Amino acid sequence: MSLLRSAMAAVASILPALAVSAQDFNAAPPNAPGQRPAFEGQTRAPVMADGIVLKVDVITKGLSHPWGMEQLPDGGWLVTERPGRMRVVAPDGALSDPIGGLPEIDVTGQGGLLDVLLAEDFARSRRLWFSYAAPAKGGNHTAIATATLSADRTTLEDVRQIFAQLPVHDGKLHFGSRLVHDGKGNLFVTLGERGDTPIRDTAQQDDNHLGKLLRIDALTGAPAEGNPGLGLPEVWAKGFRNVQAAARDAQGRLWTVEHGPRGGDELNRPEAGRNYGWPVITYGLDYSGAPINEGITARDGMEQPVYYWDPVIAPSGAVFYDCAMFPEWKGDILIGNLQTDKAFTRLRLKDDRVAGEARHLDGVGRVRDIAVAADGAVMLLTDEDNGALLRVSRE
């Protein structure tokens, strides 16, 4: 661990010298040069440079493709690993044995054990939620379960599946899924459209959960009261590709960040009953380089993204920053990058538009999730065979 810690510290120490050249990301040519933004500032916002020297410490390593994390009351972290394990990382970095009690999980392609979310009263209730690829007749689907963590933190108890995506699909792609409290006893759940053709094109249909944002009762999985009645009663909004980043801002509003294809990663602020367009409109191309469907970026009745990236950052995990360690970042949204040139992207918002963009930390790895610790440090999970939990602070 000490060698890796030293290496990461060395990377952080040279950041100021690289601040201008390494962050000239707006110079990269787009995949879809013929596409144009719908309004000024919808893409390639001004590059922000703050001159902060970042320090990276390795809290633990040896994780197998970690996916989600939540800080525990004692300062440790509950971490999921996509191959179907949940572990506790102690404040000193000690890694627990896998926690028992998980249901059967289909570990295939992008599927496996995914996000984890603690109850807001976890210190008392020990309740949590997790998302996973569940095996089912004919394939698999994204499911949500709730449980309580045993007092000795070795076992999940009273495990109950409260939701499963329909339809079942025999595939390996685009399971979503982030879990976010809505502040009213419900959960927002992001669901992918399963990626394959032709099933992805059914994301616009109202008889399924594909490419949908759900809002469900946290304990029962029933549709939340006040949902807009957009097709199935669990659905809050539709027309998403594969959302793996979601967070609420200081006003309590949900923001999502989704993977585009070749270009077309999107930042959205979803509103009830709205249609966000995928796969009818997109600021990206298919992986073959061909247009997707009609190759259009706008249509009446479909919402424009607040912001989009082309080329992509491959976003996974998001959090709004509101702590004292980095006062310069207050109110900014931090987004994990699976593209390995930068660990995370930071966006400055003004009047619900992106006013500036920065990208931080070279060569850390594929960041699957990002969080803010109680002390204000930024925490990163790297999605690797030998994945790590990293702590980013001021030098």
- Report, as residue numbers or ranges, the catalytic residues: 174
Tokens representing residue 7 in the block: 């290496």
Q: 315 φ, ψ to 5°?
A: -80, 135
Is residue 30 within 8 A of residue 353, CB to CB? The reply is no
Cα of 238 vs its chain's centroid, Å: 17
Alpha-helix runs per DSSP H in 14-109 = 15-18
Is residue 153 within 8 A of residue 96, CB to CB? The reply is yes
Q: Is 44 helix (H, G, I), strand (E, B) or coil?
A: coil
Q: How far apart are CA 192 and CA 186, in angstroms?
A: 20
Secondary element (H or E) of residue 125: helix 122-125
Tokens representing residue 15 in the block: 């950041």
In this structure, what is the dihedral angle of CA atoms 317, 45, 277, 258, given to the nearest 10 degrees?
A: -10
Closest CA relative to residue 249, chosen from 180, 185, 327, 326: 180
Is residue 359 within 8 A of residue 23, CB to CB? The reply is yes
Is residue 340 within 8 A of residue 365, CB to CB? The reply is yes
Is residue 228 within 8 A of residue 234, CB to CB? The reply is no
